């Protein structure tokens, strides 16, 4: 069947709303045909992942839109870029990459995007409402928006997310449609390791779901009732990194899963996975490539970006002797401003913490790593850092990360 274009779609294609919108709509129409969408829907917001410089093509695409006089038609936030524009001195790569990376970030702002430069826009005033149709890039943000908020987006990649923002339209397919949001996998958490905090549970469950559930939407039963937004953020980030999860339902915790029957849409799941304490321990161990006691080169926190609540958990852990290893923490500009208002920035720097905004150390050439492994409390960072940074990684709880930084070696509590 052919694509059913609305009067607005035809106006966009004809150039009635400008050359940039027409260029974007032509690409969206081809994309819609490729994914089998029959029509377009209005979106309320977009989050663009393409401001990370990956080569000249990424810059040329955005410059084409600016040359055409393009402007986004819906409120649009920006994901992390290649460097920290607030602390440019942290960048350690080629000068040309820094210049092009900064130019790409600023070109998106010229299109009317908000200079948020965060992978966690949901932690700010840009959090969408339940049921909102949006077009978001960045895997953890997509999982959080769909799952924890109950907004609706597919996993939009570079360029397509920006095309949606330029037109205010998205193809009506996938997770935009109610019939595709029901769970088809049942994941039962039947026991949890003694002494674990909720974030550790979330990371282990998420990492396992990503590896085991494939393209099926999972419904998770048995997560502790006290799981916070940050815990669910960690779960979604781990699941989206190790697999293709864009939506999960945590029964009793997330808005589309008040009970299992509702989460599954009244249909029996196709796949059933039971997770014991031993399974979760094994999942956590698989995220580490070094043994306990191994020398530690640095600690990396904030993948996805650290929230103010996470900094609140961190601050008392830093009391005591100054760490032997550097601690790098990624956060949004908004959170950085809140730290400064509370007077926490200097306290953090005194404890060997380097604050990074606008980007993330696992994707950029920022972090100085000593002789040893990188330790993190992030399932996403633990999954990607070995290849991206060419380092050995130790995964552990937030408390273990701080204790290890203080000792200069991997410590378990």
* CATH number for the domain that contains residue 140: 3.30.499.10
Distances (CA, A) of 18 to 8, 13, 167: 13, 9, 10
Distances (CA, A) of 254 to 108, 150, 214, 258, 274: 33, 8, 21, 7, 20
Instruction: Quick: pLDDT tens for 308-322.
Output: 999 999 999 999 999
Examine the domain organization and report whether 26 and 174 are in the same domain. yes
Average pLDDT over residues 97-126: 96
Q: Give CA angle at 70 (23, 140), nearest 5°.
A: 85
How would you class 407 by CB atoms within 10 Å of its CB: exposed for 0-12, middle for 13-18, buried for 19 or more?
middle
Distances (CA, A) of 151 to 118, 145, 232, 311, 355: 18, 5, 15, 27, 30
50, 158, 97, 61: which is closest to 364 by C-alpha? 97
Total of domains in the chain = 3
Q: Residue 369's pLDDT is what?
A: 84
Examine the domain organization and report whether 34 and 156 are in the same domain. yes
pLDDT band at 366 (very low <50, low <70, confident <90, very high): confident
Q: Within a domain: residue 222? A: yes
Instruction: Quick: pLDDT tens for 272-289.
Output: 999 999 999 999 999 999
Examine the domain organization and report whether 207 and 302 are in the same domain. no
Q: Is the pLDDT of residue 171 over 80?
A: yes
Distances (CA, A) of 258 to 219, 262, 327: 11, 7, 39
pLDDT band at 406 (very low <50, low <70, confident <90, very high): very high
Percent of the chain with pLDDT over 70: 100
Domain stop point among 178, 205, 230: 178
146, 180, 167: which is closest to 40 by C-alpha? 167
Q: Within a domain: residue 412? A: no
Q: Within a domain: residue 152? A: yes
Residue 2 structure tokens: 């052919």
Q: Where are the alpha helices (DSSP H) in 139-259?
A: 139-144, 160-167, 198-212, 229-242
Examine the domain organization and report whether 137 and 254 are in the same domain. no
Q: Within a domain: residue 290? A: no
Beta bridge partners of 72: none
pLDDT band at 17 (very low <50, low <70, confident <90, very high): very high
Examine the domain organization and report whether 245 and 263 are in the same domain. yes
Examine the domain organization and report whether 190 and 173 are in the same domain. no
Q: Residue 358's pLDDT is what?
A: 97
Residue 200 CB neighbour total at 10 angstroms: 25
Distances (CA, A) of 384 to 47, 221, 366: 22, 28, 16
376 φ, ψ (degrees, to nearest 5): -150, 155
Pair 61, 30: CB distance under 8 Å: no
Under DSSP, the state recorded for 307 is P
- Beta pairing, strands 185-189 & 134-136: unpaired
Which residue segment(s) compose the domain that 135 sits in?
7-178
Instruction: Quick: pLDDT tens for 248-272.
Output: 999 999 999 999 999 999 999 999 9
Q: What is the CATH number of the domain that holds 255?
A: 3.40.1060
Examine the domain organization and report whether 302 and 385 are in the same domain. yes
Instruction: Write down the residue that tokens 């001195």 correspond to.
Output: 89
Instruction: Quick: pLDDT tens for 221-255.
Output: 999 999 999 999 999 999 999 999 999 999 999 99
Q: What's the CA gap between 410 and 396, in Å, rounded?
A: 9
Examine the domain organization and report whether 151 and 237 are in the same domain. no
- Beta pairing, strands 169-171 & 40-42: antiparallel
Under DSSP, the state recorded for 394 is E
Domain stop point among 149, 178, 207: 178
Average pLDDT over residues 189-201: 97
Q: Within a domain: residue 2? A: no
Pair 197, 100: CB distance under 8 Å: no
CA dihedral 249, 253, 49, 286 (to 10 degrees): -70
Q: Within a domain: residue 1? A: no
Examine the domain organization and report whether 348 and 394 are in the same domain. yes
Domain stop point among 285, 308, 335: 285
- Per the prediction, the chain carries an average pLDDT of 96
pLDDT band at 128 (very low <50, low <70, confident <90, very high): very high
Pair 97, 90: CB distance under 8 Å: no
Q: Residue 368's pLDDT is what?
A: 83
Q: Residue 365's pLDDT is what?
A: 73
Q: Residue 362's pLDDT is what?
A: 87
Give the contacts of 383 (CB within 8 A, at least 6 positions apart).
207, 238, 241, 242, 287
Q: Residue 367's pLDDT is what?
A: 83
Give the contacts of 323 (CB within 8 A, at least 6 positions apart).
299, 351, 352, 402, 405, 406, 408
Q: Residue 299's pLDDT is what?
A: 97
Pair 359, 366: CB distance under 8 Å: yes
Q: Residue 363's pLDDT is what?
A: 82
Examine the domain organization and report whether 346 and 375 are in the same domain. yes
Instruction: Quick: pLDDT tens for 34-74.
Output: 999 999 999 999 999 999 999 999 999 999 999 999 999 99
Give the contacts of 290 (CB within 8 A, at least 6 positions apart).
373, 392, 393, 394, 410
Q: What is the pTM of this model?
A: 0.97
């Amino acid at each position: 069947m052919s694509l059913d274009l609305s009067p607005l779609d035809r106006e966009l294609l004809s150039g009635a709303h400008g050359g940039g919108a027409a260029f974007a709509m032509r690409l969206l129409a081809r994309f819609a045909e490729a994914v089998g969408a029959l029509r377009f829907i209005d979106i309320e917001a977009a989050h663009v992942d393409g401001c990370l410089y990956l080569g000249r093509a990424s810059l040329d695409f955005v410059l084409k839109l600016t040359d055409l006089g393009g402007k986004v038609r819906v409120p649009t936030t920006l994901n992390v870029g290649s460097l920290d524009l607030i602390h440019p001195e942290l960048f350690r790569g080629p000068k040309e990459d820094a210049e092009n990376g900064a130019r790409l970030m600023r070109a998106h702002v010229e299109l009317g995007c908000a200079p948020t430069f965060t992978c966690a826009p949901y932690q700010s005033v840009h959090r969408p409402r339940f049921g909102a149709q949006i077009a978001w890039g960045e895997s953890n943000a997509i999982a959080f928006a769909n799952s924890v908020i109950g907004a609706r987006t597919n996993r939009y990649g570079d360029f397509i997310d920006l095309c949606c923002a330029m037109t205010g339209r998205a193809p009506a397919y996938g997770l935009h449609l109610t019939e595709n949001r029901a769970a088809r996998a049942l994941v039962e958490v039947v026991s949890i390791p003694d002494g674990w905090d909720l974030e550790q549970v979330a990371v282990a469950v998420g990492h396992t779901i990503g590896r085991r559930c494939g393209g099926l939407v999972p419904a998770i039963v048995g997560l502790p009732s006290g799981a916070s937004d940050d815990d669910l953020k960690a779960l979604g980030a781990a699941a989206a990194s190790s697999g293709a999860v864009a939506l999960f339902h945590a029964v009793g915790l997330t808005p589309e899963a008040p009970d299992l029957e509702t989460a599954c849409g009244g249909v029996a799941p196709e796949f059933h996975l039971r997770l014991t304490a031993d399974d979760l321990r094994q999942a956590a161990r698989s995220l580490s490539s070094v043994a306990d006691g191994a020398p530690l080169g640095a600690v990396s926190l904030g993948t996805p970006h650290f929230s103010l609540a996470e900094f609140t958990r961190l601050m008392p852990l830093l009391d005591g002797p100054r760490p032997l290893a550097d601690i790098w923490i990624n956060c949004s500009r908004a959170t950085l401003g809140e730290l400064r208002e509370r007077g926490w920035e200097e306290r953090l720097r005194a404890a060997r913490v380097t604050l990074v905004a606008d980007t993330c150390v696992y994707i950029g050439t920022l972090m100085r790593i000593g002789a040893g492994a990188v330790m993190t409390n992030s399932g996403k960072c633990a999954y990607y850092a070995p290849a991206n940074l060419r380092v050995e990684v130790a995964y552990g709880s937030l408390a273990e990360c701080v204790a290890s930084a203080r000792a200069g070696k991997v410590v378990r509590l």
